[in-house]
């Protein structure tokens, strides 16, 4: 992202009029940059609760998948398969618990689903059952055996 002075110099080089629109864009994120909007998620969850008897639509499931995929980038995994497994655990939890959302308490469905995803990642990691290191390890150096 260029500074205002750099943008002005670049526009003078290109022969284009410089327009300073920083006051209009500060603090705003264009709608196209949001991968899931809170209002869209809320509306889709309410639609599924009222019209689909609590069964998620494909659109809602894709929203859950987008949220879980984006949230998984905050975590570090050595194996990409572990990342995918944890994402699917999180999505499964979202599909299981989205009906418990209470719109009288809050309208922030995005925060509710994000917390469910976080718990789903923890469940998925525990379910993978990563090997724990023993308290002591036997190491063979030359012909002697040492205990660490």
DSSP per-residue string spanning 32-73:
GG-SS-HHHHHHHHHHHHHHSTTPPPHHHHHHHHHHHHHHHT
| Structural domains of the chain, count | 1
Please indicate, yes or no, if residue 119 is contained in any of the structural domains. yes
Whole-number pLDDT of residue 108: 95
CB 98, CB 41: distance < 8 Å? no
Please indicate, yes or no, if residue 8 is contained in any of the structural domains. no
Please indicate, yes or no, if residue 146 is contained in any of the structural domains. no
User: What is the number of other CB atoms lying within 10 angstroms of the CB of residue 42?
Assistant: 19
Please indicate, yes or no, if residue 142 is contained in any of the structural domains. no
Residues 12, 18: Cα–Cα separation, whole Å: 7
Domain that holds residue 64: 35-128
Please indicate, yes or no, if residue 46 is contained in any of the structural domains. yes
Please indicate, yes or no, if residue 27 is contained in any of the structural domains. no
Kindly give the confidence (pLDDT) of every residue in the chain, 148 residues in length, as a single tens digit, with 9 standing for 90 and above: 457 777 788 888 888 877 766 555 555 555 556 689 999 999 999 999 999 998 999 999 999 999 999 999 888 888 888 899 999 999 999 999 999 999 999 999 999 999 999 999 999 988 887 645 445 544 555 555 544 4
Please indicate, yes or no, if residue 121 is contained in any of the structural domains. yes
Please indicate, yes or no, if residue 86 is contained in any of the structural domains. yes
């Amino acid at each position: 992202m260029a500074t205002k002075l750099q943008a002005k110099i670049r526009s003078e080089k290109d022969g284009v009029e410089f327009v300073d629109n920083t006051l209009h864009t500060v603090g705003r994120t264009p709608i196209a940059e949001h991968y899931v909007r809170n209002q869209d998620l809320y509306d889709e969850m309410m639609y599924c609760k009222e019209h689909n008897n609590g069964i998620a639509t494909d659109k809602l499931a894709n929203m859950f998948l987008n949220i879980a995929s984006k949230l998984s980038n905050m975590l570090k995994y050595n194996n990409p398969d572990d990342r995918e497994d944890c994402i699917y655990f999180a999505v499964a939890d979202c599909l299981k618990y989205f009906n418990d959302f209470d719109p009288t308490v809050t309208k922030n469905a995005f925060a509710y689903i994000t917390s469910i995803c976080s718990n789903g990642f923890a469940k998925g990691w525990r379910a993978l059952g990563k090997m724990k290191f023993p308290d002591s390890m036997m190491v063979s150096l030359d012909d002697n055996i040492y205990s660490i």
